[in-house]
Amino acid sequence: MTDTEILATKDPGQRLGAMRHSLPDSIVQVGPVTHLAAERERLAALNWNHFTVNQLGSTIGAELIGVDLRDDLSDEVIAEIRQALFEFKVIFFRDQPLNPDQHVAFAARFGELEIHPFIPSNTGRPELVRFEKSAETGGYENLWHHDVTWRSSPSMGAVLHALEVPPVGGDTLFCDMYAAYEGLPDDVKELIEGRTAMHDFVRAFGAQVPAERKQEMREMYPMVEHPIVVTHADTGRRHLYVNRVFTSHIVGMDKSESDELLDLLCYQAETVEYQVRFSWRKDSVAFWDNRGAQHYASSDYWPQRRVMERASVMGGTPLA
C-alpha cells in the first residue's frame, strides 16, 4: 500500500454536472452528450410495418431485418424504407446477394441515379461504381465527408454493396450531422448563421484530370457555394454541411479565420457519440442519407482486398 493522499471525496463528474466541458486551450470537449437523449428515445419508439428495426447508434444507424432487396418491393415497402433512411440517417441490410442489375434497380426506386465523372464504373453499368482496394490500390476514403458536395446538386443518398471484405477491418463509420449542428455552442451557431462555404472537386480529384483538360473540367464543374447549415429537404431539420475533403473556405472570411472555423466545424464529425460503426460481411448493404450523415471508410486492412459497389441517388440544391 502506498502513502498517496486521496484529495477527492466524490467522482469528478459530480462537480462538473451534466454538461460538456472544453479542455484547456483545446477544441476537444468531454462530458455527457445530453442533447442526444430526446432523439435517441424518439427513434426507439418508432413502429414499422414491413420489417424489424434494430437501432445501432444513439441517434444514427439501424439494421432493417426482413427485406430482400432483390424482390420487386411494393411502393409501400419502398416508402417505409425511405422513412427509415431519413429517420436513422443510415440503414443496413445483411445477406443481400445483389447482382449489378438488382443493385441499380433497388437504388433507382429512390430517384435518378448519378454518374460520377472522376471514378470509373468498371461494372458494365455506368450508374454503378466499383471500389476495388488491394495491395496495389490503397483506400483513401478515410476522412469524414459527404459525397460530391462539389456538385451544385449533390447526391441525396448512396447504396453500397459489399462484394468482398477483408477478414478483419474495413469498417465504415457514419456521423449524425444533425447532432453535430445541435451540439455546437450558441455563439458558434450565431457565427455561422446565414454563412456559406465553397466546395471544389479539385481538392480530391484534380490530380486525375490531364493538364490539357483542366480548364474544360473547371468550366464543367466550377466551385459551388452551399450553406454551412442546410435545412434537410425531407425532414425540415438543420444539419452541418461542410467537410474536410471538398470544402475549401468560408465565404467572406480571411483565410486564417476561415481555416480556424472550418477546423472546428469539421471536427464535430469526429465526436464518437454522434457516430455508428458498421462491420461489413459479404453481401451486406448500407444505404445512407448523404445530407444528414457523413461517412468515413476505415483503411486498416492493407494489403487485404476490399471490393464494394455503389449506386448514388441524385439530390437537389442544398438550401439554408
Place of cell 498517496: 4
| Residue of 82, 103, 226, 295 marked active site | 295
Evaluate whether 293 touches 179 at the Cβ level (below 8 Å). Answer: no
DSSP three-state, residue 174: strand
Evaluate whether 157 touches 309 at the Cβ level (below 8 Å). Answer: no
Grid coordinates of 158: 448512396
Instruction: Establish whether 147 is a catalytic residue.
Output: yes
Identify the CA nearest to 145 among candidates 241, 60, 275, 230: 241
Grid coordinates of 259: 481555416
Identify the CA nearest to 80 among candidates 106, 47, 56: 47
Q: Where are the beta strands (DSSP E) in the chain?
A: 21-22, 29-30, 52-55, 62-65, 90-93, 128-133, 157-164, 172-176, 196-199, 224-227, 229-231, 238-240, 247-250, 275-278, 285-289, 293-297, 306-313
Instruction: Give the rounded distance of the alpha carbon of 177 from its chain centre.
Output: 8
| Residue of 147, 176, 200, 289 marked active site | 147
Whether the bond into 303 is cis, omega within 30 of 0: yes
| Residue of 145, 226, 249, 306 marked active site | 145
Alpha-carbon distance of 26 to 45, in angstroms, equals: 37
The 10 Å Cβ neighbour count of residue 132 is 14
Helices and strands, number each (H, E), in the chain = 9, 17
Alpha-carbon distance of 289 to 264, in angstroms, equals: 23
Instruction: Establish whether 145 is a catalytic residue.
Output: yes
Catalytic residues: 145, 147, 295, 310
